[in-house]
Amino acid sequence: MFYEKQDTYKTIKDLTYFIGNSAVELQDKNENREDIELASFSYNDAKYIRKQMQINNEDLYFLSMYMCVFADNEKDLEYLLNKVEGILQSNGIMSKRANFRQEEVFSSCLPLNLNEKSLKSSSRRNVLTDGLISTYPFISNSIFDETGILFGINRFTNSMIMIDRFNKDKYKNANMCVFGTSGAGKSFFTKLMILRHRMSGMDQYIIDPEREYRELCENLDGLLIKIGPQSNTYINILDIRKDGIEEDGHGYLQTKLSKLKGFFKLVFGDINEEEWANFEEKLILAYNEKGITFDDETLFENGDVDNFRIARKFKSTDKMPILEDVYNKLISDEKTKRLGIKLRPFVKGSLSYLNNHTNIVLDNKLIVADIYELGEENIQFAVYIFTEFFWDQIKKDRNQKKAIYMDEIWRLIGVTSNRDVASFIYKIFKTIRKYGGSGVAITQDISDLFSLDNGNFGKSILNNSSIKCFFALEEESIMTLSDFINISEKEKIEMKSLKKGESLVFVGDNHILTKIEASKNEKEIIERGDLNKKDNNSTWG
């Protein structure tokens, strides 16, 4: 292969001259010209090349490619030539035999840097810098951020892939998607990321619906929070927190009401605007009974005396209403009694553990929310409660790196959820960057992820994630993904045939086939207490 860079000034000048002449010829509308379509294509190509050179600072090269085919006899040579030509044609590459110029081609293929003039005129093709990159052989893109953590090893080059997803100069956000079938290695990879970020002192919040991170939390001295019938830890969904609105913002109650809309629509299902207006009225009354109004000052009270001044402090959780206060308002009014009946299980029934004041103190940099005990039918309520709870914590300190991991995120943005909940999750992925945070979406149910609102919410989260890690996927899942992101045919085959512990990592325009690597100590920490599980008796780490 020979690359000959062309003079940029001369090329643009020649292109401009050609474009001007072609435009005049095309305006003549000489439809009798047999080459009218060819002239139109050449005109558009010339405009594109000039635009790329002037706006994107690309260079124009002449590219010449030669291949030598060897054989011991003429019959074998003809067979090999036909085979090579067939391979090239199947990949959309045109080839031409160098009849009567075999010696010149052979000389050009020798390590003499000699591109015979007699070959140039018939073999060269123009190519821009962007296209030229793809012709470099034996090169695989890799990423090495000096301040990053190890993601894995490039399977082709054995080079380390180090990514600092919080690098604002390099990545548009720190969000990440981790998709893969059960047993493909996505859980191990996620735990490995949590472990390595734990060493760097990053705040990490994990929503665990399948009780997969319990042992890791214990091994890393994290804080495990459980919500369920057997737990004694509680979170009050009606809590208004000091960090619940933007810095220097106002409108605590208004902001809280908009957040609660998603939760109560999970409780009530589809309700009309009149019913929602009546319900919101009762909700506001419940806050009013606790002395909380739309005046932000009602959320502050006098504290201790400090330097002869009375300090102001935010109201504690025991001064907030709970679900029972709302229930009593609903059940006492015929217009809202139906909604009160729907809320009754959360107050007097199987979900009454959600009817308590918050008694959790978040004093750890690694917090795992175990919601396994809630069961399949009720798990979406706890996922929403913890997501909203952690979101307020994330907004506290913009300078501190933090991440929220949402396992089985399809529960919140899939068909079993609703638009308000999905919009809240989308908002997290869209705005978490400005708080120094990272959202991590983990799932194995690709079709469910894109099942709500024609897949718009799943697509939005995918597009708002700078890093995407695809482990082995079923063909149906791959086809669903290909409707929302660009995946080449080769990459589709790779996704389907990935071994356990291998991932196709998308970082911007770089698509890297990666082998996830863990040290012996890391693997012991992740799998300690879980070694008897069959799917953890692997050796790929």
Q: How far apart, in whole angstroms, are the C-alpha atoms of residue 111 and residue 102?
A: 16
> Are the CB atoms for 429 and 232 separated by under 8 Å?
no
User: What is the three-class DSSP state of 305?
Assistant: strand
pTM of the model: 0.70
**Where along the chain do its domains lie?**
2-135, 237-359
Q: How far apart, in whole angstroms, are the C-alpha atoms of residue 166 and residue 173?
A: 7
As beta bridge partners, residue 506 has 468, 511
Query: In a 10 Å sphere around its CB, with 0-12 CB exposed, 13-18 middle and 19+ buried, how is residue 284 labelled?
Result: middle
Q: Report how many helices (DSSP H) and strands (DSSP E) the chain contains, helices first.
A: 21, 16
> Are the CB atoms for 40 and 26 separated by under 8 Å?
yes
The pLDDT of residue 220 is 92
Q: Select from 430, 506, 511, 510 the least CA-distant residue to 467.
A: 506
Could you read off the pLDDT of 351-379 as tens digits, one per residue? Answer: 999 999 999 888 899 999 998 888 777 88
In the predicted model, what is the mean pLDDT of residues 491-501?
Answer: 90
**What single-letter DSSP state applies at residue 465?**
-
Could you read off the pLDDT of 126-162 as tens digits, one per residue? Answer: 899 888 877 776 555 578 888 889 999 998 878 889 9
Q: How far apart, in whole angstroms, are the C-alpha atoms of residue 19 and residue 508?
A: 34
The pLDDT of residue 30 is 59
CATH 3.20.20.70 for the 237-359 domain, yes or no:
no
Could you read off the pLDDT of 426-478 as tens digits, one per residue? Answer: 989 999 999 999 999 999 888 888 888 888 899 999 999 999 999 999 999 99
Could you read off the pLDDT of 281-315 as tens digits, one per residue? Answer: 999 999 999 999 999 989 988 765 555 555 678 89
The pLDDT of residue 357 is 93
For residue 495, the surrounding DSSP H or E stretch is: helix 489-497
Could you read off the pLDDT of 313-335 as tens digits, one per residue? Answer: 889 899 999 999 999 999 999 99
Could you read off the pLDDT of 198-207 as tens digits, one per residue? Answer: 988 899 999 9
